[in-house]
């Protein structure tokens, strides 16, 4: 299975290592010419303002958006979730806008507000979740909610897109990445 990982900025190596451990072939997407036939797409954590700007200026936004709209299975974490969201409550930018949710950026404040918490993830069970200057999903609209913490939605799925406010790539638990690979297989 061939997975494209957006590699313009952020923690993309961590996703790559995890997916390679699960037997995937990964390619880093740094410019338009890197975009080729892939079975799945990962949008990693990092700074959404930087990633969004580079996506636009390196002419990658439209081709990737078309692929997501055409059903390409996509796993987005933290900044990636912000890129996917159709609306950001405290930022007027919209990037892919393919995931019908409203997210709030830096919803837990600055770095001192970052935290880890164990919570239940749909069909997986308890999962250690790491939130770093994280967003959360303010309005999940018609998506399927996969996880909540203290009443706030932190993970959703909508058709081919999985959006997470936390970082499963930072631990050793590969279950969410396995769920993503199952989504590709089905």
Partner 1 sequence: MSQTQIELNRGLAQMLKGGVIMDVTTPEQAKIAEEAGACAVMALERIPADIRAAGGVSRMSDPKMIKGIQEAVSIPVMAKCRIGHFAEAQILQAIEIDYIDESEVLSPADDVYHINKNDFKVPFVCGARDLGEALRRINEGATMIRTKGEPGTGDIVQAVRHMRKMNSEIRKIVSMREDELFEAAKQLQVPYDLVLYVHENGKLPVVNFAAGGVATPADAALMMQLGAEGVFVGSGIFKSGDPAKRAAAIVKAVTNYTDAKLIAELSEDLGEAMVGINENEIKIIMEERGQ
- Hey, which residues are catalytic here? 78, 167, 169
Q: DSSP assignment of 117-181, as one string? A: EEEEETTTEEEEEEESS--EEEE-TTSEEEEEETTEEEEEEETTEEEESS-GGGSS--HHHHHHH
Cβ at position 42, least distance to partner 1 in Å: 14
Residues 6+ apart with CB under 8 A from 151: none
- Residue closer to partner 1, measured from CB, 71 or 109: 109
Binding site for partner 1 (CB under 8 A): 7-14, 30-31, 45-47, 49-50, 53-54, 57-58, 78-79, 90-91, 105-106, 109-112, 114-116, 130, 132-133, 167, 170
Residue 156 and residue 99 in contact, taking contact as beta carbons nearer than 8 Å = yes
Cβ at position 40, least distance to partner 1 in Å: 21
Residue 143 and residue 59 in contact, taking contact as beta carbons nearer than 8 Å = no
- Residue closer to partner 1, measured from CB, 7 or 154: 7
Cβ at position 105, least distance to partner 1 in Å: 6
Cβ at position 185, least distance to partner 1 in Å: 29
- Residue closer to partner 1, measured from CB, 134 or 184: 134
- The sign of the torsion formed by the CA atoms of 9, 47, 159, 168 equals positive
Residue 76 and residue 166 in contact, taking contact as beta carbons nearer than 8 Å = no
- Residue closer to partner 1, measured from CB, 39 or 47: 47
């Amino acid at each position: 299975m061939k997975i494209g990982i957006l590699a313009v900025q952020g923690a993309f190596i961590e996703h790559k290592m995890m997916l390679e451990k699960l037997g995937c072939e990964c390619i880093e997407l740094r410019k338009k010419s890197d975009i080729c036939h892939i079975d799945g797409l990962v949008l990693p954590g990092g700074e959404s303002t930087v990633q969004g700007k580079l996506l636009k200026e390196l002419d990658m936004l439209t081709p990737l958006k078309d692929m997501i709209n055409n059903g390409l299975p996509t796993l987005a974490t933290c900044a990636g979730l912000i890129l996917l969201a159709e609306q950001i409550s405290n930022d007027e930018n919209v990037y892919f806008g393919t995931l019908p949710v409203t997210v709030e950026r830096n919803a837990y404040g600055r770095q001192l507000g970052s935290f880890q918490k164990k919570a239940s993830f749909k069909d997986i069970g308890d999962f250690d979740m790491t939130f770093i200057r994280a967003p959360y999903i303010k309005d999940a609209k018609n998506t399927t909610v996969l996880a909540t913490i203290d009443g706030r939605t932190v993970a959703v799925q909508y058709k081919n897109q999985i959006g997470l406010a936390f970082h499963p790539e930072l631990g050793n638990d590969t279950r969410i990445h396995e769920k993503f690979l199952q989504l590709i297989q089905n």
